[in-house]
Amino acid sequence: MRSDMEDTPQQAEFRGEVRQWLRANLPPGWAESIEEGDDKAFEAVKTASGWDFMTWMGTIGRSPYAAPLWPKDYGGLGGESWMPQVVRSELTRYRLPTFGINLLGVGLAGPTIIEHGTDAQKARYLPKILSGEEIWCQLFSEPGAGSDLASLATRAVADGDEWVVNGQKVWTTMAQFAHFGMLLSRSDPDAPKHEGLSYFILDMKSPGVEVRPLKQMTGSSEFNEVFLTDVRVPDANRVGAVGDGWRCARTTLMNERTALAGISFDPVSIFGGTRRDPWQAFVESIPNRSDPLVRQHLAQLYIEAEVKEITAFRANSARMRGRQPGPEGAVNKVFNAEYNQRRSNFAVDAAGMGSTAWLPGDTDAESRSQTFLRARANTIEGGTSEVLRNQMAERILGLPRDMEVGHGEPWSSSHRA
């Protein structure tokens, strides 16, 4: 729900609560300058207050507004499905980041632990996920297992009350900063591929964990290779039953789709606090706005942005309640990923030569190029658009299932990449 959609009385009351909390927790003058539309005053307050992203993550993380649908006992509000959207629209209004540094912890690990974890795991991990004190990463993909994740080869062998893990993960976002990882590994190679998996919480500081950052075309190193050599994991860190890792992983993956669907990876959305409403900032960054073709494109992108917002509202309803979101997460993720690419392609086209070279300090040009390059990953990360379309075809349209080679065979005798 956007802040300009009409609230029900209950939503308006909640919006008021969030706004009151923001006013009380933002530096003095921040909220007032925005409410009065005084950009100069806002910039002055922001600079003078020394506002920084990480400190803000801690502040909001200790409030119930970081994950309103999480149960109250674990730092949420046990709230209604529409609440995260209200929080997000208020954060945008006050020029704040709409998601945190611990996106994978709050969006993926937390809901998985809430659904499948023990009481001890919930008490130990959930509060520090919300406060941002412990960052999480997702150790699922491997060089030979991405779309066909269930064919993964990282082995976990039981040894007393521990497991010994060997293998390699790849594409592991944030692993270089993470305290814990959601580790999916093969505990029974003789079971069919989906049945022989177990899910663990891995302490990333364990001996035998080696993280090697990979350089992307954007110049940054968002993700990593992770090598696991004789890593010992206590059985107390197992999430769900032995061999039930695929069910737990599905919870993580469904939440991942919904979590990623609302994100543009535009630095403005990530770090907030720098500009006006992200849509308005985008429009202002486009040159030649009086050109009829440019206007047509902008109008079309605006329509799609509205559709995206309304679809996200529907998909959000199951998220983070501990309930698995359904295939609507896939619809939204595909639409959002392709929308991001269309939008960043258009921005680069509209700026012409200005997209290939710019003067130092031209932050619009830099942001445009970064967003364009980063958007290539949107149709791959969190499940490729092709694979998600297969899921929609099967689960929403009821079409015949995609061919699966070696279905029901032991993983150890199946043909793998």
DSSP letter, residue 8: P
Give the count of alpha carbons within 13 A of 196, CB side only. 20
Q: How far is the CB of 340 from ligand FAD (least distance, A)?
A: 12
Q: Which residue, 248 or 350, is less far from ligand FAD as judged by CB?
A: 248
- Find the binding residues for ligand FAD in span 196-235 (CB under 6 A): 223
> Which tokens belong to 305?
């942005």
Cβ-Cβ contacts under 8 Å for 326 (sequence gap 6 or more):
254, 318, 395
Q: Which residue, 90 or 266, is less far from ligand FAD as judged by CB?
A: 266
- The alpha carbon of residue 351 and the mean position of all alpha carbons in its chain are separated, in whole angstroms, by 29
- The alpha carbon of residue 405 and the mean position of all alpha carbons in its chain are separated, in whole angstroms, by 31
Which residue stretch of 39-47, 199-207, 266-274, 383-391 sits at the interface with ligand FAD (rule: CB under 6 A)? 383-391
Which residue stretch of 122-130, 192-200, 228-236, 385-393 sits at the interface with ligand FAD (rule: CB under 6 A)? 385-393
The correct pick among 229, 402, 405, 408 for binding ligand FAD (CB under 6 A) is 402
- For position 125 contacting ligand FAD by CB under 6 A, the verdict is no
Calpha distance 387→376 (Å, rounded): 16
CA torsion sign, 321 to 322 to 326 to 328?
Answer: positive
- Find the binding residues for ligand FAD in span 360-379 (CB under 6 A): 377
- For position 386 contacting ligand FAD by CB under 6 A, the verdict is yes
The DSSP annotation for 181-232 comes to EEEEEES-TTSBTTTSEEEEEEETTSTTEEEEE---TTSS---EEEEEEEEE
Q: How far is the CB of 229 from ligand FAD (least distance, A)?
A: 19
Residue in this structure with the two tokens 């970064």, named with its chain if needed: 370
Site string for ligand FAD, 142-161 (x = CB under 6 A): ----xx--------------
Q: How far is the CB of 223 from ligand FAD (least distance, A)?
A: 5
- For position 171 contacting ligand FAD by CB under 6 A, the verdict is yes
- For position 270 contacting ligand FAD by CB under 6 A, the verdict is no
Closest of 96, 178, 189 to residue 139, by C-alpha: 178
- For position 392 contacting ligand FAD by CB under 6 A, the verdict is no
Calpha distance 155→230 (Å, rounded): 10
- For position 138 contacting ligand FAD by CB under 6 A, the verdict is yes
Residue in this structure with the two tokens 């509205």, named with its chain if needed: 306
> Which tokens belong to 266?
């535009």
Give the count of alpha carbons within 13 A of 318, CB side only. 15
Q: Which residue, 91 or 149, is less far from ligand FAD as judged by CB?
A: 149
Query: Is residue 279 within 8 Å of residue 305, measured between CB atoms?
Result: yes
Query: Is residue 102 within 8 Å of residue 66, measured between CB atoms?
Result: no
- For position 173 contacting ligand FAD by CB under 6 A, the verdict is yes
Q: Which residue, 158 or 270, is less far from ligand FAD as judged by CB?
A: 270
Query: Is residue 90 within 8 Å of residue 318, measured between CB atoms?
Result: no
- Whether 32 is a known active-site residue: answer no
Active-site choice (142, 222, 256, 381): 256
Q: How far is the CB of 71 from ligand FAD (least distance, A)?
A: 26
Count of residues touching ligand FAD (by CB under 6 A): 20
Q: Which residues bind ligand FAD (CB under 6 A)?
A: 137-138, 140-141, 146-147, 171-173, 223, 377, 380-384, 386-387, 390, 402
Which positions are catalytic? 256
